[in-house]
Amino acid sequence: MMIVNEHINAEDFRKEVERRRELNPVLSKTILSALNERLMELKNDVSFEEAYYIYHTTEAFFYIESFSVKPVGDLDFIFFNDRFIIWGSIFGHHLEFRLGDNKNFLTDEDKKIITRQSIEIIENAEIFLLEDFTRDNMTFYFTGDKK
């Protein structure tokens, strides 16, 4: 069974995003800005690590960013590994990875890696609202590549 960590402190999360900043400068800036906002919203007795679930392994990070202002069943997420920082959406059991401003071009091998890393995190973490997701009932879409 893959070990998936559920939390990370704010400074370590910032370092992970900054380490990959050149992969997608636009989304990296957005993530870091959102991190600063989240830190300002926290009450003094609650840490970032306690308040937010950022699921990660040694290879990848999966962070559900938004639970509001969306139709029921639609979620936004951020996924990143050592080649991509991706904004995505979940509709039913469909995960859409929007490549947008990533500097790297997506290859078939990258799709396989991102799919495998996502499955490992989703199946091995206890992610609220995704608990019934399995490799057999998820579909993956990749959009917005600059090829």
**What proportion of the chain, given as a percentage, has pLDDT over 90?**
54
Domain boundaries, the chain: 10-143
Interatomic CA distance for residues 56 and 13, integer angstroms: 10
Mean pLDDT over 132-145 rounds to: 90
Cβ neighbour number for residue 56 with a 10 Å cutoff: 22
Interatomic CA distance for residues 124 and 3, integer angstroms: 7
pLDDT tens-digit series, residues 55-85: 999 999 998 865 444 444 578 899 999 999 9
Provide the pLDDT for residue 146: 61
